[in-house]
A and B are shown apart, each in its own frame.
Chain A
């Protein structure tokens, strides 16, 4: 179905997640720390109680921590698990790794980006000079045996080679990073049409590479635009219908993370989340009452304080909520 330009891929979030994310799926989500995480989709995955997910992330932050906290994730390949000043190390991630519940394998942000790019390009690996001599190269999160048992994982974590072109390019040695081809990637964008063409405003992070590396792509969007809208300035689009399997219209779909030009991140939510995440009982009731009980994204949104959401609406010039009170006494130095 993918290649047809005139086929509507519009669906609902519960249907898209039920159909494309299964227990054991290899999943990647877009965004970075506290920006444009596909949070509505993350919460729907939690609601549908998906288990044993294998997650690929560079610095995807809030979405990763909530999936880990809800027990959806078995293995995680990651570069950075933090949400900037809100949680320099994500709380549920940290607990899950320290208790041995979560298997984690570390890379750098550039290595993960190149791995998605390799997957999108259809090559088995790409070279970089980043990480030579470090433990990122030598310490594996998953054993050779585990790798052999899942044909979606390469046999080695990383490899080094001597430059086959001699000292061409001024580099004698290089690290090769293996391609990632997730079963599903989910990204949240500002604008999409029903066919699956999409336009991202602001930084794209590694969303484009993640989207194109995936077997299946779910795009959630703030705004569904008319059929010919994106074709009027196609040079501003990043993803075409060729890659897309499902389009879901979800205003505030990145909340409580930011969506540039539309709304800011919610500092209150993110601070309270960090504190809640530190207390097992409080966290379980957060999961149950705030995430699982509302039947869908719209019911979740209806429970949020309207005045607070209003304060997050982006100023059209800067793309964020100017003068938003982001201070808290809890903030760590």
Chain B
């Protein structure tokens, strides 16, 4: 959040989904290229562009660069991402933009997953045996590519014990691997996950150990509640209370980004 801005009284009524979208939007820096998935990550990118990062560029793995987004897309291939862009290309160019050493460094990727481990590695493929899974999910899509290439990623998760696990059932997308030097050892480009934004709070990764710690709880949620929903130990000593959405942030999110509440519900 911009510290120089006067924060008006937060309105009493806001949903956790709105809190999540605003929390993610605050992570986006002005001038960044924002890689969006479907759903709440698009809203976060749209909110950031309308609030604190007006010079950010929203772009999609399908090849759309700087979409106008007059209406909320319901998929990254929605025709709504194709209107008023700087360029409509294809997958080959979109992923090359992220692997490219000049443009890739400016990209922040927003991802989601079914499971996350303490180092921010992600599973979006399967629970149980790979060949005969208990639960099968969509698979990587572009997530593994983005997590491999770009400088910073933020990750949306539902905060549940079965989703925050010590050991992934399937390793789809790389985070910090197993700690400092993990990515370099495998030959992956530098960079990695910076924040995990859930329905309860915000987690970050320790500079030294690269392990996830509790950085912020949403108003009214305790560190104990968050630990309860996490399958590994989270260091709570640095946790602050996350500032609630401001009236301005909510107004822009609701009126400008998702007036039909297609994503906000």
Q: Which chain A residues have a beta carbon within 8 Å of chain B's beta carbons?
A: 31-36, 58-59, 61, 78-86, 88-90, 93-94, 97-98, 100, 106-111, 113-114, 117, 128-136, 139, 141, 160, 170-174, 202-209, 258, 260-261, 264-265, 267, 314, 318-320, 322-323, 326-327, 331, 333
- Which one of A134, A260, A331 lies within 8 Å of B82 (CB-CB)? A260
A78 to B137, CA, bound (A): 12
- Would B62 and A205 count as touching, CB distance under 8 A? yes
Task: Please classify the interface of chain B as helix (H, G, I), strand (E, B), loop, or mixed, using the class held by over half of its residues.
Answer: loop
| B219-241 interface (Cβ within 8 A of A) | none
With A132-B148, A206-B90, A207-B90 in contact, do A34 and B74 touch (Cβ < 8 Å)? yes
- Would A81 and B139 count as touching, CB distance under 8 A? yes
B63-85 interface mask toward A, CB cutoff 8 Å, 1 = contact, 0 = none? 11000001101111111111110
Tell me which residues across on chain A come within 8 A of B263, comparing CB atoms: 85
Selected A-B contacts with CB under 8 Å, 7 pairs:
A61-B77, A80-B140, A129-B187, A133-B177, A173-B186, A174-B187, A320-B79
Q: Which chain B residues have a beta carbon within 8 Å of chain A's beta carbons?
A: 17, 38-39, 61-64, 70-71, 73-84, 88-92, 95, 99, 101, 125-126, 130-145, 148-149, 170-174, 177, 186-189, 260-263, 265
A109 to B261, CA, bound (A): 29
With A139-B130, A204-B89 in contact, do A35 and B77 touch (Cβ < 8 Å)? yes
A28 to B116, CA, bound (A): 32
Closest 8 CB pairs of A and B: A84-B75, A173-B187, A80-B141, A32-B77, A110-B95, A133-B186, A82-B138, A35-B77
A320 to B130, CA, bound (A): 39
With A84-B38, A110-B91, A136-B172 in contact, do A32 and B136 touch (Cβ < 8 Å)? no
Whole-angstrom distance between the Cβ of B70 and the nearest chain A Cβ: 7
Tell me which residues across on chain A come within 8 A of B135, comparing CB atoms: 94, 98
Task: Please classify the interface of chain A as helix (H, G, I), strand (E, B), loop, or mixed, using the class held by over half of its residues.
Answer: loop
- Which one of B74, B80, B138, B187 lies within 8 Å of A86 (CB-CB)? B74
- Would A109 and B140 count as touching, CB distance under 8 A? yes
Closest B residue, CB atoms, query A163? B187
- Would B91 and A130 count as touching, CB distance under 8 A? no
With A90-B138, A106-B125 in contact, do A132 and B77 touch (Cβ < 8 Å)? no
Whole-angstrom distance between the Cβ of B75 and the nearest chain A Cβ: 2
- Would B133 and A35 count as touching, CB distance under 8 A? no
Closest A residue, CB atoms, query B82? A202
A202 to B78, CA, bound (A): 10
Seed contacts A106-B172, A132-B188; 9 additional CB < 8 Å A-B pairs:
A79-B139, A90-B138, A108-B144, A128-B99, A171-B187, A207-B90, A265-B79, A320-B71, A320-B83
